[in-house]
Structure 1
Amino acid sequence: MYCLGQCYRSPARQGEDALPHIASRARISVLLGNVVRAAVLDLDEYCSTGGGQALRQVLHMDSAAVIQQICASGLRGRGGAAFPTGLKWQLLAKQEADCKYLVANADEGDPGSFSDRLLMERDPYRLIEAMLIAGITVGAKQAYIYLRREYEQAASILQAAIAQARAAGWLGQHVLGSAHAFDISLAIGKGSYLCGEETAMLNAIEDRRPEARLRPPQITELGLYSKPTLVNNVETLCAIPWIITHSAAAYAALGTPESPGTKLLSLNSVFKRPGLYEVEFGISLRDIVDKLGLGLKQGQLKGLMIGGPLAGVIPQQLLDTPLAYQSLQQIGGAVGHGGVIAFDDSCSIAELVAQVFRFGAFESCGKCTPCHRGAAEVSHHFDDILQGRHWNASRWQALVTALADASLCGHGRGLAEFAQSIQRHYHAELQTCFTSA
């Protein structure tokens, strides 16, 4: 069974799709302008809505000036790590190498997330323009879109858009008649959730085993094919053209001083109004649940999982927390990729833990023992707990600690963050699963 990026409808089958509710709740829409209106699948139509303007500006700008704009905007990576985008570009731009690469991470594998899929299917030229801007700025001439294999419609649309962009002179040896060379290839994913981790993704593009690499060196120094490489996710890139045309200050004026800009949120099928929403940072989690999702279809809200399963769970009593990086971090949560999964009071904590660790064990690359062995052990014992048995609390705690301290990448550490938030916010219910010995 594979995730089709249709978490707004259940059940979902390959080849069948219906658009979710799509809306912008930001003062200014940075990302969803074309997505809300209608799919823009023709380059001329994209240009008629202002597309291409940012690229033409960048062709006449110094790279340092472009990077300064991105830094000043406050844009951070929207794929989960939240690393400052301008700083990442700066790190790659200063690398001296005969070849550099750019990779758009479109391996949207977090359960509950479908924002990147809709951006690619309904506004593909925005992604292409953004990749051109990024590549020209940092000195990369070859780029890849690493696309999860379940996104067959997105693959077809992107292939057609890349071909049309190449025919129109956007891609090739002389981008729009300039001295800049740049091209894009589509790399279809290998099916592993872990390929969302950027070093595992680079291994997959190289047709190697998709497992996390040791760092340092960072991929900005030694990445794809041992060359300096820039990796940004789709949502991050798609904000770039707007920032260039409207200014860094205009972008930074949205959201909050600590978390500027907008964020896409994917609300899952448990909500009365599931869908894709663009919001400004600073909106409360309560408003996301009540005003965007219109509450749950049934039952009382017990908690939220924001940004995928490998992050902290947020209980109902903390819904007045604003959607912002530092605010969520303070309560053990994370913005992550922006998938918002709600669960109601019919879901037991034991059931939730069993499911998340079952997912974590299945999707582990196998490189780290605490991750692939520890996650499987937790899953096994919580399956037993659901059958009425109990487990040793000290063993549970030891495994959570090992995951946090000894995992090579965010997969194992994310499982630990999930477990720690369960311990913090659902302690009484969790303790009923254990023996004291």
Structure 2
Amino acid sequence: MTVSTDYGGTPRPEAGGGDGPEKLLAPVLSAFWDEPRSWTLETYLRHDGYQGLRKALAMSPDDVIAYVKDSGLRGRGGAGFPTGMKWQFIPQGDGKPHYLVVNADESEPGTCKDIPLLFANPHSLVEGMIIACYAIRSERAFIYLRGETVPVLRRLHEAVREAYAAGYLGRNILGSGIDLDITVHAGAGAYICGEETALLDSLEGRRGQPRLRPPFPAVAGLYACPTVVNNVESIASVPAILNRGKEWFRSMGSEKSPGFTLYSLSGHVARPGQYEAPLGITLRQLLDMSGGMRPGHRLKFWTPGGSSTPLLTDEHLDVPLDYEAVGAAGSMLGTKALQCFDETTCVVRAVTRWTEFYAHESCGKCTPCREGTYWLVQLLRDIEAGRGRLTDLDKIDDIADNINGKSFCALGDGAASPIFSSLKYFRAEYEQHVRGRGCPFDPAKSTVWADQSHPEVHV
């Protein structure tokens, strides 16, 4: 069954019958989030917990890597790099210790999937880490958690403790002869530490700043040893793949983007939250399941992967939410943080707030990002307040171009994305701020709230 909606809040079924839009969902990681004490080992074992680990231990490490690679699992942290291939890059027989580091520093504005997952089902991550460490022949793993999430930190510590007590961690795991220790580390709350090499520097006790690459973490990562850095959701998806089979995983999603994933739906929607569905579902379908936009309003623009991905409009409601289709539409799937904004939202104000965030969170290591984000903020604030000039629009586009692809890490690219895309789709709205000497969405800040054809233009 398919459904469509006017995004005033009331879904209406199309012809064809069926069982409802909720049938499009694929709860795996979130299957028992709403059960009492879902975070405990007891609950996890009732839902086939650690069965994937037992199957993995019956295989050779290389076979586990090949199995995950064949499943088509792609990294769920933003770039979508194949997980099995990343594991395969770890050199073997080099005599060095190997490390697994899980990136749980979820900091992207609008992203809220890893933290709920760790809060409700931390053992899925622990089991996935054991499998991954067995595959890459690692005896030490780390979870780098965003430090402000203290309740999640406590549950992670408890899950690790339960796993040690049950024999899933420590010496001779399940009689396999494999040893593994997991350390949970709380970061200090820096957006830049979501970048994998900055995370490694922070984990080593240094200031979190991105490293020059090469060498890549697979060769010289944590403590200059071969290291795999994976997102929480990527690793937490591995146990189900081993337990239920790679063919089962590939039966969902698309050919190049198979499997299930968590979408964070937020903003001006009737029922925001986490929706676990196969890759390739559309925003229209997710809005149908969430009751549409808030009553009486329509979708104006949205982000497919958080504020660092180019924004899209209501013209893109039917774009399949997988890596290839979103890329072809001119954006990135990223962290699948679907921020939805209705017609009452000022694009200039939203982009200004995002840019202020990136300027604040820039580590300052490279000039394009450090200086560029600062000047973008100054110009955007002037435009929003009605002090800007029409020439400032070309200026912010030029500054964003000098940041994009020229900064030390992807933070600069993320800061430039909202600038490019908002000018592409909403340049007229920027011009209204200049001509009207204020925000047209706020009568108190504009001299031409009702008349956008004001003749006075600052040039």
Alignment check: 8 A CA contact 1:76 1:83 kept: yes
Q: What is the CA-CA distance between 1:293 and the residue it aligns to?
A: 4.6
Q: What is the CA-CA distance between 1:288 and the residue it aligns to?
A: 1.8
1:419-434 → structure 2 map (5 Å cutoff): 419-432=419-432
**Aligned partner of 1:393: which letter?**
L
Alignment check: 8 A CA contact 1:106 1:234 kept: yes
Q: Deviations over 1:189-216 (max 9, x none)?
A: 1110111111111111111110111111
Q: 1:26 to 1:207 in 2, by over 3 A?
A: farther
Residue 205 of structure 1 pairs with residue 203 of structure 2:
yes
SS of 1:406 mapped into structure 2: coil
SS of 2:143 mapped into structure 1: strand
Residue 248 of structure 1 pairs with residue 250 of structure 2:
no
**Cross-structure match for 1:6:** none
Alignment check: 8 A CA contact 1:107 1:148 kept: yes
Q: 1:24 to 1:168 in 2, by over 3 A?
A: farther
**Aligned partner of 1:234: which letter?**
V
Alignment check: 8 A CA contact 2:68 2:83 kept: yes
**Cross-structure match for 1:404:** 404
Alignment check: 8 A CA contact 2:39 2:159 kept: yes
Q: 1:275 to 1:95 in 2, by over 3 A?
A: farther
Q: Distance in 2 between matches of 1:24 and 1:152?
A: 33
- Shifted more, 251-260 versus 127-136: the winner is 251-260
Q: Distance in 1 between matches of 2:429 and 2:415?
A: 19
Q: Deviations over 1:311-361 (max 9, x none)?
A: 110111221111111111112222111221111212222212211110110
Alignment check: 8 A CA contact 2:397 2:419 kept: no
- Shifted more, 222-231 versus 166-175: the winner is 166-175
Q: What is the CA-CA distance between 1:307 and the residue it aligns to?
A: 1.6
RMSD: 1.9
**Cross-structure match for 2:416:** 416
Q: Distance in 1 between matches of 2:87 and 2:36?
A: 32
Q: Deviations over 1:128-167 (max 9, x none)?
A: 0000000010011111110101111111111111112112
Q: Distance in 2 between matches of 1:143 and 1:401?
A: 39
- Which of structures 1 and 2 has the bigger CA Rg? 2
Residue 48 of structure 1 pairs with residue 55 of structure 2:
no
**Cross-structure match for 1:337:** 335
**Cross-structure match for 2:135:** 137
**Cross-structure match for 1:102:** 100
Residue 66 of structure 1 pairs with residue 64 of structure 2:
yes
**Aligned partner of 1:52: which letter?**
Y
Q: Distance in 1 between matches of 2:95 and 2:217?
A: 13
Aligned-residue identity in percent: 36
Q: 1:298 to 1:229 in 2, by over 3 A?
A: farther
SS of 1:268 mapped into structure 2: strand
Q: Distance in 1 between matches of 2:385 and 2:27?
A: 49
- Shifted more, 32-41 versus 302-311: the winner is 32-41
**Cross-structure match for 2:326:** 328
**Cross-structure match for 2:231:** 233
Q: Distance in 1 between matches of 2:412 and 2:66?
A: 35
Q: Deviations over 1:263-303 (max 9, x none)?
A: 20112252111111101112122122233352235532111
Q: Deviations over 1:201-252 (max 9, x none)?
A: 1111111110111111110111011111111111111110010011111101
Q: Distance in 2 between matches of 1:297 and 1:436?
A: 38
1:12-27 → structure 2 map (5 Å cutoff): 26=24
Of 184, 187, 196 in structure 2, the residue corresponding to residue 186 of structure 1 is 184
Alignment check: 8 A CA contact 1:40 1:124 kept: no
1:13-412 → structure 2 map (5 Å cutoff): 26=24, 28-92=26-90, 94=92, 96-297=94-295, 299-391=297-389, 392-412=392-412
Q: 1:416 to 1:25 in 2, by over 3 A?
A: farther
Alignment check: 8 A CA contact 2:91 2:219 kept: no
- Shifted more, 142-151 versus 327-336: the winner is 327-336
- Shifted more, 387-396 versus 160-169: the winner is 387-396
- Shifted more, 194-203 versus 260-269: the winner is 260-269
**Structure 1: runs of 5+ lacking an equivalent:** 1-22
Q: Distance in 1 between matches of 2:122 and 2:22?
A: 19
SS of 1:221 mapped into structure 2: helix
- Shifted more, 227-236 versus 172-181: the winner is 172-181
Q: Distance in 2 between matches of 1:122 and 1:240?
A: 17
Alignment check: 8 A CA contact 2:109 2:306 kept: yes
Alignment check: 8 A CA contact 1:25 1:280 kept: no
- How many residue pairs get aligned? The number is 415
Q: 1:52 to 1:26 in 2, by over 3 A?
A: farther
TM-score w.r.t. the length of structure 1 is 0.90
Q: What is the CA-CA distance between 1:41 and the residue it aligns to?
A: 3.1
Alignment check: 8 A CA contact 2:304 2:338 kept: yes
Alignment check: 8 A CA contact 1:304 1:341 kept: yes
SS of 1:33 mapped into structure 2: coil
Q: 1:28 to 1:191 in 2, by over 3 A?
A: closer
Alignment check: 8 A CA contact 2:396 2:419 kept: no
TM-score w.r.t. the length of structure 2 is 0.86
Q: 1:126 to 1:405 in 2, by over 3 A?
A: closer
Q: Distance in 1 between matches of 2:93 and 2:210?
A: 23
**Aligned partner of 2:302: which letter?**
L
Alignment check: 8 A CA contact 2:167 2:174 kept: yes
Q: What is the CA-CA distance between 1:69 and the residue it aligns to?
A: 1.2
**Structure 2: runs of 5+ lacking an equivalent:** 1-20, 435-456
Q: Distance in 2 between matches of 1:354 and 1:152?
A: 30
- Shifted more, 331-340 versus 427-436: the winner is 427-436
Q: What is the CA-CA distance between 1:43 and the residue it aligns to?
A: 2.0
Q: 1:315 to 1:204 in 2, by over 3 A?
A: same
Q: Distance in 2 between matches of 1:123 and 1:93?
A: 32
**Aligned partner of 1:299: which letter?**
H
Q: Distance in 2 between matches of 1:275 and 1:293?
A: 12
Q: Distance in 1 between matches of 2:433 and 2:65?
A: 52
**Cross-structure match for 1:16:** none
SS of 1:40 mapped into structure 2: coil
SS of 1:225 mapped into structure 2: helix
Q: 1:293 to 1:110 in 2, by over 3 A?
A: farther
